[in-house]
Amino acid sequence: MANEQDNNSEEHYSDQVFHQLLTLMRMKRRYDHQLENAQGIKPRDFSVLRFLAETGPVKVSRIQTYLHHSPSTTSTLIAQLEAAGYVTRTRSKKDNRVVIVALTDAGRAIGEQAPFGGLPLLRRQLSQLSLARLAEIDGVLQELVALMEMPES
């Protein structure tokens, strides 16, 4: 009987953990939809605009590092933002190989008007945590990723 209760507790707790993960995913989707409906911009695009608003003009490589994307994906995203009139790209006067990305007035306006939540807020809040707490969270997330990986067939 005690063993059955232990199994039920473990099952209940694993369901609770799973529910928290689903809640995180729902919160992200809700924020993404809210942002797209209110501003007509994708969350990833907004993330770049917010980053530029906080840092000022930066090299393309800094945006790539911030987004954790490949160079080609980052370049495509920046080109789309430029075509929409949200950013400009210019060559560095010191090194012609370096491209600098800066906000336009339209890009700055979206960054200031859009609600601050979702992943941008999470990123900011995580930066306020101690290294020990971040290491603990990182370990748990790595374990979740490993649990979700498909076994090779």
In CATH, what class is 41-113? mainly alpha
Can you give the pLDDT at residue 12?
Answer: 83
CA 102, CA 114: separation in Å to the nearest integer?
18
Can you give the pLDDT at residue 33?
Answer: 84
Q: Kindly list the domain boundaries of the chain, sorted by start residue.
A: 1-40, 41-113, 117-153
Can you give the pLDDT at residue 50?
Answer: 86
Report mean pLDDT in 10-residue bins for the chain, 153 residues: 63 87 89 79 86 91 92 93 95 88 93 74 90 95 87 64
The whole-model pTM stands at 0.70
